[in-house]
Amino acid sequence: MLTKFYSIQSLENQLANGHVFILVSENNMNLGFISFEINAEKTTKTKIHKLYVLPKNQGKGIGMKLIDYVKNESVINENTALFLNVNKQNNAQEFYIKYGFKITKDIVINIGNGYVMDDFEMELQFKK
């Protein structure tokens, strides 16, 4: 799974297909990152593909600031919502709910090599 999503070739393909990566660091130490795509899936919505904050740095507002950044970029680009997939067993669901995301779909995706993603799609609509 790491090779599928994080190999150099995979990351280069993601960048070539419109994914943007933002890395957060402090004192030359990486704390986390976010990956997103404006107008994802031919919609006027922005998809957050990846959001990771190292466990020792969670609870410091880094994830919120990353989503704030993506939301701002989304609004600038006239998108109407943010959406993402989160594993049904991932405690991050509570973080997204706290931010204002709502569960919109139940998704099961076979990504190959015996891996199945059993996720919720969550969405945050923007107020007009």
Q: H or E segment at 5?
A: helix 2-6
pLDDT tens profile 18-59: 899 999 999 999 999 999 999 998 999 999 999 999 999 999
One-character DSSP codes across 23-57: EEEETTEEEEEEEEETTGGGSSEEEEEEEEE-GGG
Beta bridge partners of 27: none
Q: The pTM is what?
A: 0.88
pLDDT over 70 (residue 2): no
Annotated domain spans of the chain = 2-125
Residue range 2-125 in CATH 3.40.50.720: no
Please give the distance of CA 11 from its chain centroid, rounded to a whole number: 15
Residue 4 binned pLDDT confidence (cut-offs 50, 70, 90): low
